[in-house]
Amino acid sequence: MLIIISYNIGGITTCGIQALLRSWLKETPHDVILLQELHMTKIKHLDIFRNAFPDYNITCSLGTWTAGGTLVMIKKKYDVIDASTDPDGRTAFIKIIYEKILIITISAYAPAQITERCSFFKDIRFYIPSTKLIIIGGDFNYVPNNRRDRIQYGIQTDNHSYLLLLQNIINPLLLDKNISFEIST
C-alpha cells in the first residue's frame, strides 16, 4: 500500500522546522508527502530543502507570494516518470508506477479568496494529466460544512467551493462508478 500524507506546513524554510519535519518523517510510515503553504519563494530555499531531504525526489511549485508554494516529496525508491508544477505556487504533481499501476499524485493549495478559489477549481484540471488513478491532496481552503469553517474568526464562509470542487475535479475524475472518495477536514 502506498502511504500518502498531506499537510499544510505553514512555512518550511527554516532549519528548525525542517529538522522537526525530518524527525517526524523518521517516526511516521509514509511513501509520499504533499506539503502546502511552504512560504518558499526562492530557488535557494528549495535547494536548501532538497539538501536537507536527500532520500526524496522533490517537485515544488515555488510561491509567488510569501505564504505560497506546494510540493510533492516521494522516496527515491520509487521511479518518478513525470513531474510538473503550475507557475503560481498552487499545484505540483508526480507520476509514478506503483505495482504496475500508473498513479498521479497532486499537491494542491487553493486560494483563500472565494472568487480566486472558484477559478482555481475550474482551472486545476488543465494541470492534471490523464490516467486512471489520480490522487489529489492538499489545502482546498474550504470545508463541506460551513458550521465547521472559520466563523469564529469572522472570515466569510463559502457555499460555492465545495460544489465547484465536485463539479470540476471529483466528478470528472470518477472514471468508475464504484470508486469512492473521502474528504477529510
pTM of model > 0.75: yes
CB 105 within 8 A of CB 137: yes
CB 107 within 8 A of CB 6: yes
Q: Please give the chain's pLDDT, 185 residues, in tens.
A: 899 999 999 999 999 999 999 999 999 999 999 999 999 999 999 999 999 999 999 999 999 999 999 999 999 999 999 999 999 999 999 999 999 999 999 999 999 887 888 788 878 877 777 777 888 899 988 766 666 655 555 455 566 666 777 776 666 665 444 444 444 44
- Parallel/antiparallel/unpaired status of strands 4-8 and 32-36: parallel
What domains lie within the chain, and their CATH numbers?
A: 4-173 (3.60.10.10)
CB 86 within 8 A of CB 102: no
- Residue 180's pLDDT is what? 46
- Residue 184's pLDDT is what? 47
